[in-house]
């Protein structure tokens, strides 16, 4: 097998809106009630995938989930057309576009049976996300159906909150080699909830058959969660030997570095000091909610949102670091403003899977011609704008369902209807 890193991006769904449902996600709370632009959001996501392809990266996708979530509403004894505004907002959320929360992934070199393991996140902390996992599970079972190479796990019990790869990192000499897996959990976030439970992380590690000597459980700092880092990937990101983090990301920074030096001495730690970039700037700009990747040319590259370039303290730090020829050699800027306004940056939009592309259902992999076809469908069918008053409109509900059906038909994935 030829193992490589594949970034699976979630396509922004046609119901993308700003209902402000995610308590603790400052961008989502700040933009609550604004008008969204689903068509622009989805096209921005496709452009990000194109940029990854241009770097030489392998790119995949996940499709939007059914919206409104009629099955979930039926369990609550109501139809979408009769649901009250708050309940309907939870059923119309397009938040499954943030594929980093789809699952936690352990590549074959790390697992006891040599298969890549994926455990679907239960996302039980937020009502609008708690109903995502069945549709996520269906997609993962289809995309990674070859059980010679993959094992898909249902969510851990909902008593323990699990938010997926957004709270998981991996350090390794190279993607196809054994790695050290870091599970980041929260205990407290002051006024905001800590969403990742330690017991959920431990359960995932056991289910994946990870070696305890190559597995770390790391507490996220209360200060970071309270500042709006509702997931670890808002204050830290790792790729191969590099861990890139804010000084205040972890509850016991020094203890973590000691453990990393003992268990993986080859790692490189790149830290942004709070004196250079405060937590507020780091979180507002999503400096760390970036894709840290190694393209075929071998130049470690940080893919950041435009908001990071527009934040003076962040951009100044990046320019100083790049001038020093450090562990990050290149910065690429992408426009994902519609996603950012709802609290998700470049890293939120993708689930990183190390696997052989030949073992994956090709309908979930993309090239430029496929992206062109998707762009055409989205330009024709996605709503141009959704205002708060539109959310319960029967016309919008019908358009959202028809748009998703057209996309699935284009991908030959109508079985996911």
Domain limits of the chain?
4-416
Question: How confident is the prediction for the chain on average, in pLDDT?
Answer: 96
- Which of 16, 175, 208, 231 is labelled catalytic? 231
Q: Tell me: the pLDDT tens digits for 134-182?
A: 999 999 999 999 999 999 999 999 999 999 999 999 999 988 899 999 9
SS3 273: coil
Mean pLDDT score, 43-51? 98
> Looking at the domain 4-416, which fold is it?
3.75.10
Examine the pLDDT at 7 and tell me if it is beyond 90. yes
271: annotated active-site residue:
no
At 417 the pLDDT is 87
Q: Identify the band that residue 213 occupies on the pLDDT scale cut at 50, 70 and 90.
A: very high
- Quote the pTM value: 0.96
Mean pLDDT score, 112-140? 97
At 2 the pLDDT is 87
Provide, rounded to the nearest whole percent, the portion of the chain with pLDDT above 70.
Answer: 100
At 326 the pLDDT is 81
- Which of 132, 163, 247, 338 is labelled catalytic? 163
Mean pLDDT score, 230-245? 97
The residue written with tokens 């748009």 in the block is 403
At 31 the pLDDT is 87
At 37 the pLDDT is 98
Of the candidates 97, 118, 123, 96, the one whose C-alpha atom is nearest the C-alpha of residue 106 is 118
Q: Tell me: the pLDDT tens digits for 70-116?
A: 999 999 999 999 999 999 999 999 999 999 999 999 999 999 999 99
Q: Identify the band that residue 220 occupies on the pLDDT scale cut at 50, 70 and 90.
A: very high
Q: Tell me: the pLDDT tens digits for 198-210?
A: 999 999 999 999 9
- Which of 131, 240, 338, 348 is labelled catalytic? 348
Examine the pLDDT at 42 and tell me if it is beyond 90. yes
At 163 the pLDDT is 98
* Three-class secondary structure assignment of 200-267: HHHHHHHHCCECHHHEEEEEECHHHHHCCCCCHHHCEEEECCEEEEECCCECCHHHHHHHHHHHCCCC
Examine the pLDDT at 266 and tell me if it is beyond 90. yes
> E strand or H helix at 377, and its extent?
helix 368-381
Mean pLDDT score, 254-283? 97
75: annotated active-site residue:
no
At 23 the pLDDT is 85
Q: Distance between CA 224 and CA 196 in Å, rounded?
A: 14
231: annotated active-site residue:
yes
Going edge to edge, which strands form the sheet with 268-272? 236-239, 242-246, 268-272
């Amino acid at each position: 097998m030829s193992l490589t890193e594949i970034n699976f991006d979630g396509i922004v769904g046609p119901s993308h809106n700003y209902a402000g449902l995610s308590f603790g996600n400052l961008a989502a709370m700040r933009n609550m009630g604004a008008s969204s632009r689903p068509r622009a959001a989805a096209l921005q996501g496709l452009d990000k995938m194109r940029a990854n392809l241009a770097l030489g990266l392998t790119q995949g996708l996940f499709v939007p989930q059914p919206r409104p979530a009629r099955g979930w509403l039926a369990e609550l004894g109501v139809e979408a057309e009769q649901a009250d505004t708050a309940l309907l907002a939870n059923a119309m959320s397009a938040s499954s576009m943030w594929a980093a929360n789809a699952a936690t992934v352990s590549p074959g070199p790390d697992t006891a049976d040599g298969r890549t393991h994926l455990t679907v996140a239960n996302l039980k902390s937020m009502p609008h996300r708690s109903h995502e996992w069945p549709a996520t599970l269906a997609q993962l079972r289809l995309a990674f159906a070859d059980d010679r190479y993959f094992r898909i796990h249902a969510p851990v019990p909902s008593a323990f909150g699990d938010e997926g790869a957004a709270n998981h990192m991996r350090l390794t000499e190279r993607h196809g080699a054994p790695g050290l897996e870091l599970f980041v959990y929260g205990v407290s976030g002051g006024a905001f909830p800590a969403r990742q439970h330690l017991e959920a992380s431990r359960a995932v590690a056991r289910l994946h058959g990870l070696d305890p000597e190559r597995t770390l459980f790391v507490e996220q700092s209360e200060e970071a969660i309270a500042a709006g880092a509702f997931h670890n990937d808002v204050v830290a990101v790792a790729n191969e030997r590099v861990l890139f983090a804010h000084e205040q990301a972890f509850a016991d920074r020094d203890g973590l570095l000691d453990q990393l030096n003992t268990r993986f001495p080859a790692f490189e730690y790149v830290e942004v000091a709070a004196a250079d970039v405060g937590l507020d700037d780091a979180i507002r700009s999503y400096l760390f909610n970036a894709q840290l990747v190694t393209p075929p040319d071998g130049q470690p590259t940080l893919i950041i949102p435009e908001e990071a370039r527009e934040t003076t303290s962040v951009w100044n730090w990046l320019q100083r670091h790049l001038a020093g020829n450090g562990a990050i050699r290149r910065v690429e800027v992408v426009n994902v403003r519609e996603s950012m306004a709802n609290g998700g940056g470049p890293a939120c939009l993708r689930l990183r899977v190390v696997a052989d592309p030949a073992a994956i259902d090709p309908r979930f992999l993309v090239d430029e011609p496929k992206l062109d076809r998707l762009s055409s469908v989205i330009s024709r069918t996605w709503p141009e704008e959704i205002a708060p008053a539109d959310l319960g409109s029967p016309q919008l509900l019908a358009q959202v369902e028809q748009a998703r059906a057209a996309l699935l038909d284009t991908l030959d994935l109508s079985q996911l209807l």
